[in-house]
Homo-oligomer: A and B are copies of this chain.
Amino acid sequence: MNIEMIRAARARLDGHVRRTPLLNSPSLDAVAGRRVWVKAECLQHTGSFKLRGGWSAISAMEPALRARGVIAFSSGNHAQGVALAAARHGAPAVIIMPDDAPRAKIDATRALGAEVVLYDRARDDRDAICARISADRDLTLIRPFDDAWVIAGQATCGLEIAEQARDEGITRADVLVCCGGGGFSSGVALALEAEAPGLRVRPVEPEEFDDMARSLRSGVIERNERLSGSLCDAIITPQPGAMTFPILSRLAGPGMVVTEDQALHAMALAFSGLKLVAEPGGAVALAAALFHGDEIEGDDVIVTISGGNVDATVFRTALERFGG
């Protein structure tokens, strides 16, 4: 992994992946007590940053291998990113999804032309299902985060943040990134190391699923006790990645942790202040900026809204409870 690999990913993504805007709003600044800059990856094609990594990996594949097809497992955002990238490259895609994934994500993945295989989180062995299908059909696995091509793709968002921060005159700030396995956080951290060394990534997770924050604190990879039962489905992973954790250990600041309620509250404030739809897992970084300002220093903070693929019922709940 180096900056040249990230720049090469950017060239492959050019014209296929949106350069999402960096937005701000006086109402969010007032709550946070500092300027809050929001990288709106919910406006990315497929509704999350995951298209970047999917496109990067699939566009880098040897064409004959790619033509045989790809396989991925995901609760929904990586699923859609891989499905769209595969479809645009003419490659078949099989996506293994938990049957309790948000309905909107399952439907959207199918609409992008992928074959969706559902499994039961409690009863089935996802990895075994995946291994069997990929062996049977000679499919290439596109990992959600522990893959250099995927990390390089997510890192292109970091290149954009570096440029956009420079345009706004921001030279020193924490960059809060919604964190599951750490692919997005570590990619952004690598890009910022090269292009904006005054910006520092801080991974943000939901309470009870704070494996990255604990691992960064202890210096060794720690696991989550639970693997389901969170509205923040997009960023629930068993543990930090073997590739992503060393990158974040070297480059990231301390992890931050927010409650599910804080994520829902942040969704309501993104609705009113930014006119953006964030999903719970995509709103944790904004929640950290808004409600954990005492853990941040400086006049500016940059946050990612990493995805907006949320069922209408969950969004209505957020507005009902926190929408004023």
A271 adjacent to chain B (CB < 8 Å): yes
Q: Which residues in window 13-65 of A have CB below 8 A to B? A: 18, 21, 23, 26-27, 30, 42-43, 47
Decide: A275 and B319 in contact? CB cutoff 8 A.
no
Q: Interface residue count for A (Cβ, 8 Å)?
A: 31
Which residues of chain A from 91 to 127 have any CB-CB distance to chain B below 8 Å in the complex?
Answer: 103-104, 108, 111-112
Using a CB-CB cutoff of 8 Å, which residues 277-324 of chain A contact chain B? 277-278, 308, 312-313, 315-316, 319-320, 323-324
B residues less than 8 Å from A316 (CB atoms): 316, 319-320, 323
Q: How far is the CB of A83 from chain B (nearest CB, A)?
A: 11
Alpha-carbon separation in the docked complex, A18 to B24 (Å): 11
A43-B23 contact given A275-B277, A276-B275, A312-B271, CB 8 Å threshold? yes
Q: Select which of B277, B312, B323 is within 8 A of A276 by beta carbon.
A: B277
Cβ of A155 within 8 Å of any chain B Cβ, yes or no, is no
Q: Hey, which chain B residues are within 8 Å of A315, CB to CB?
A: 271, 319, 323
A224 within 8 A of B: no
Q: Which B residues touch A277, using CB under 8 A?
A: 271, 275-277
A272 close to B (CB within 8 Å): yes
Instruction: Flag if B27 contacts A111 (CB, 8 Å).
Output: yes
Find out whether the CB atom of B27 lies under 8 angstroms from the CB atom of A272. Answer: no
Per the bound structure, the CA–CA distance linking A26 and B111 in Å amounts to: 9
A171-187 interface code vs B (CB 8 A; 1 in, 0 out)? 00000000000000000
A268 at interface by CB-CB < 8 Å: yes
Which residue on chain B has the smallest CB distance to residue A323? B312
Given contact pairs A276-B277, A277-B277, A312-B323, enumerate 9 new A-B contacts (beta carbons under 8 Å). A26-B111, A43-B274, A43-B276, A104-B272, A271-B315, A275-B308, A312-B319, A315-B323, A316-B320
- Selected from B26, B274, B312, the residue in CB contact (under 8 A) with A268 is B312
Are A27 and B108 closer than 8 Å at their CB atoms? yes
Nearest CB of chain B from residue A75's CB, rounded to whole Å: 17
Expressed in whole angstroms, the Cα–Cα distance for A277 and B313 within the complex equals: 15
Chain B: minimal CB distance from A96 (Å): 22
A272 to B314, CA, bound (A): 12
A80 to B140, CA, bound (A): 52
CA distance A21 to B315 in the complex (A): 24
CB neighbours of A320 from chain B (8 A) = 312, 316
**Bound-state Cα–Cα, A271 to B108, Å:** 13
Which 9 pairs between the two chains have the least Cβ-Cβ distance?
Answer: A312-B323, A275-B308, A275-B277, A312-B319, A42-B275, A316-B316, A316-B319, A271-B277, A47-B275
Q: Roughly how many angstroms separate A23 CA and B274 CA in the complex, as a whole number? A: 16
Contact B275–A312 (Cβ < 8 Å): no
Would you give 28 A-B contacts (Cβ < 8 Å), ordered by A? Answer: A18-B21, A18-B23, A21-B21, A21-B43, A23-B43, A26-B112, A30-B111, A43-B274, A43-B275, A43-B276, A47-B275, A104-B272, A104-B324, A268-B312, A271-B312, A271-B315, A275-B276, A275-B278, A275-B308, A276-B276, A312-B323, A312-B324, A315-B319, A315-B323, A316-B316, A316-B319, A316-B320, A316-B323
